[in-house]
Structure 1
Amino acid sequence: MRLLTKTAHCVTALNKSPPVGGSRQFWGWLNAVFNKVDYERIKAVGPDRAASEWLLRCGAKVRFQGFDRWQHDYNGLPTGPLGRYKIQAIDATESCIMYRGFDHLDGLKHLEEIKFHRCIYIEDTCMERLSQIENLQASLHRVELVSCGNVTDKGVIALHHLRNLDHLFLSDLPGIKEKEKTVERLKTALPKLVVELDLL
């Protein structure tokens, strides 16, 4: 399956504001289509390949275990033996990933880092879902949340289930109203966690 670059990315990934009125609804619908989970595809190609396709389709980037280069071209995804390429890091900057697509993360066992920067669809339910994924509870070490206006204290606190999380960067999150209390709760649950705050 090949995708044309111009149609493979959501509106936000192209650094454009969603159009108003009916056009806004259209782009919202299209982004939801990009996030639809195809469970047969996951079975056919494995969780890492299927998650890579989802992420790149939505304008995010992935880095595979053992590689330094970020993969951002859907049509350039590497081929090879099933299960050879394991996702180690995700950069979802300005992507259109949303809650309905998070089932793609269920089978990832090597994901150590994820960045959510300027993601208009990321909200508390996404953080709660992320923290409930058993594989990620063990593998995730670093999470960055920057300029995601729909994330509140509730969503950040949910990350305490990621028992191996050791670095959390929070910046430009207007939904965070009780930062000291929120950080204290995280640090109580995860004593080794380093929290960087830039919430001015």
Structure 2
Amino acid sequence: MMLLEHLARRACRVQKLPSCDTSRQLWAWLNAVFNKVDHERIQAVGPDRAASEWLLRCGAHVRYQGLDKWQQDYNQLPTGALGRYKIQAIDATESCIMHIGFDYLEGLEHVEEIKFCKCAYLLDGCLQRLSEIQNLQRSLLRLWIVSCGNITDQGVTALHKLSNLEYLFLSDLPGITQKETTAEILRKSLPSLVVELELE
């Protein structure tokens, strides 16, 4: 008991930690560094490998064509012939991906599903950028956007360019204020799209 009290007293004397704002700025800066696009790396190892490195560096997971297992560990990315592993699915749950890194998605040709869940840096501009990538316009079939507080109706309606999108799940998005209108815009542009809404 005496030892616990002694440790508690010492803990109270530690130097003041940086304010939340300073800490937040530091993390935002580090996350921006993680998201910076390295075009030379894309040329050297190919788009799928470079995108895998970006996504895992930011805390996301990827699944490759023909494999059931999700790749989660940056240090255990598979090796082999360039272009052998093609990203089929991305789970960006609680990752720090930002719009500046979305250029990594440009060369991906086989991505069928993406999950954005609790992505603090996901903005409307990210969804607009996503919808402009021609390869994803052809390949992306399923998209989940959950608990991403910066997403508004404007970002979601930009998804109408994803011409082959079959399923869109939207949940816990306080920035969506006109959910029926937004869903209707998407349904008119993409008649075969199933939109599932779980919004307050």
**TM-score normalised over the length of structure 2:** 0.90
Residue identity (%): 70
Stretches (4+) displaced over 2 A: none
Deviation, structure 1 residue 24? 1.4
Unmatched 5+ residue regions in structure 1? 1-18
- SS of equivalent residue, structure 1 residue 168: strand
Distance in 1, Cα, partners of 2:188 & 2:23: 46
Partner of 1:11: none
Distance in 1, Cα, partners of 2:24 & 2:158: 30
Q: Which amino acid letter does the alignment assign opposite residue 82 of structure 1?
A: L
Deviations for 1:121-142, whole angstroms, at most 9, x for unmatched residues?
0010000000000000000000
- SS of equivalent residue, structure 2 residue 137: helix
Partner of 2:67: 67
- SS of equivalent residue, structure 2 residue 20: coil
**TM-score normalised over the length of structure 1:** 0.90
Q: Which amino acid letter does the alignment assign opposite residue 198 of structure 2?
A: D
- SS of equivalent residue, structure 1 residue 21: helix
Deviation, structure 1 residue 198? 0.4
Q: Provide the aligned length of Structure 1 versus Structure 2.
A: 182
Q: How does 1:54-93 map to 2 (within 5 A)?
A: 54-93=54-93
- SS of equivalent residue, structure 1 residue 114: strand
Q: How does 1:1-200 map to 2 (within 5 A)?
A: 20-200=20-200
Whichever of the two has the greater Rg, that structure is 2
Cα-Cα RMSD: 0.7
Distance in 1, Cα, partners of 2:183 & 2:168: 10
Distance in 1, Cα, partners of 2:108 & 2:53: 13
Distance in 1, Cα, partners of 2:57 & 2:159: 26
